[in-house]
Amino acid sequence: MINYITQSFPNFMKKLLIVILMVLPILSFAQTKPYLTAADAERITAAAEAKATAEGWNVVIAILDEGGNLLSLKRMDGVQIGSIDVAQAKAKSAVFFKRPTKVFEEAMKGEGGARIATLPNAVGVEGGLPIFKDGIIVGSIGVSGVTSAQDGIIAEAGVKGY
């Protein structure tokens, strides 16, 4: 195809075309964003579950995409059913506010900290972590089932598996 182009255009036009073709991908990159695939969600979940199993902790693991929509959820045996919603709420909070839910938990400790409870979708309990790629948010993980500190450890193991 290049040969065909080289023959059918005059020299100046050829050079211009080549410059455009080289710049194109850079321009196009400017309008794409990285995102989590189903395989990513599976790998993150597996890493989290491996840690949970190793510790003997049973939890719910939820993975959301960058729009806050569920990619996958896995409930291990014997987990309280309240954790199904809590894991998703933690993950939603993490991706909606681009920060770990532990940040809100800390913010809620001081005077007037209950104000966080008035923010839609904010969860002030550890166990939700945003997931980044090259500094851009691509989704989140939410874990619930054991203590919030333990939920946080499992969530971290999940992110490391990404």
Could you list the residues that contact its own copies (CB under 8 A)?
Answer: 1-2, 15, 18-19, 21-22, 24-25, 28-29, 31-35, 37-39, 41, 65-77, 80-82, 84-86, 89, 93, 95-98, 104-106, 108-109, 111-125, 133
CA distance 160 to 162: 5
- Least gap, CB of 85 to its own copies (angstroms): 4
Q: To 5 degrees, how large is the angle CA 63–CA 71–CA 148? A: 20
Token representation of residue 78 = 């014997």
- Least gap, CB of 123 to its own copies (angstroms): 5
| Cβ atoms 129, 156 nearer than 8 A | yes
- Least gap, CB of 140 to its own copies (angstroms): 11
**Which residue's CB is nearer to its own copies, number 123 or number 143?**
123
**Which residue's CB is nearer to its own copies, number 10 or number 111?**
111
**Which residue's CB is nearer to its own copies, number 108 or number 159?**
108
| Cβ atoms 52, 118 nearer than 8 A | no
- Least gap, CB of 5 to its own copies (angstroms): 9
Label residue 21 exposed, middle or buried (CB < 10 Å: 0-12, 13-18, 19+): exposed
Residue 43's Cβ-side half-sphere holds a number of Cα atoms within 13 Å equal to 9
CA distance 138 to 141: 11
- Least gap, CB of 156 to its own copies (angstroms): 19
